[in-house]
Amino acid sequence: MKRPYIKLLGLIIVLLTVGLVFTSLQTSKKYKFDTKAIELHKELVSSTHFIDPQKASEILSKQHDEYIFVDIRNPREFDNFHIEGAVNVPMQQILDDQFISFLKNDKTKVLYSNESIEADQIRLLLTQFGYSNLFVLQGGANYWKENMISKDVFKSKGEYDDEKLKFDISKLTATE
């Protein structure tokens, strides 16, 4: 064996490694989060991002222009029932370019889903993605549907806050 072979082999190893490193450079299109989780956590603790149905109905009746209701359910559900004036952006497609530009405008967006959890998660996702002015409608479409009496009259009854205990806790503690 002569030396050139060894040099060649060394060169191949180097090239392979370099190639490996650089091929992995071409990653798919990534949406980087801008807001760090810890900052977001502080924000969640210190301020609310919920809008209760009462306030939402006031907004709607006064026809505030700066608010947009965003329905993140699928089109079928949207066609079935939706809050008047709401825009349908199905959550599956919320990261698509067309909607991203829509979500970028300065208006206050109120997200809702059937209940509030999915909307809340999507809101967190978008906030982490650098969007602001996002709120979540408590109770979601389900609550809205039950409590809407006529076009402009909204009767708030029952519980819309997901985090409110819906049963008597003393029943549980009494059994100890």
Q: Pick the closer one to another protein by CB: 45 or 149.
A: 45
Kindly indicate which of the ranges 54-62, 78-86, 118-126, 143-151 contains the residues binding another protein, using the contact rule CB under 8 A.
Answer: 118-126
Residues 75/90, Cβ–Cβ less than 8 Å: yes
- Angstrom distance (rounded) from CA 14 to CA 45: 51
- Is residue 169 near another protein by the rule CB under 8 A? yes
For strands 134-137 and 50-51, give the pairing. parallel
- Structure token digits, residue 121: 């998660």
Query: Which letter does DSSP use for residue 91 in this model?
Result: G
- Is residue 30 near another protein by the rule CB under 8 A? yes
Nearest distance, CB of residue 90 and another protein, angstroms: 11
- Is residue 151 near another protein by the rule CB under 8 A? no
- Is residue 149 near another protein by the rule CB under 8 A? no
Selection from 104, 120, 130, 111 nearest residue 68 by Cα: 111
Q: How many helices (H) and strands (E) does the chain have?
A: 8, 5
Query: Which letter does DSSP use for residue 27 in this model?
Result: P
Residues that bind another protein (CB under 8 A): 1-3, 5-7, 9-10, 13-14, 17-18, 20-21, 24-25, 27, 30-33, 37-38, 40-41, 44-45, 91-92, 94-95, 116-118, 120-122, 124-125, 128-129, 161-167, 169, 171-173, 175-176
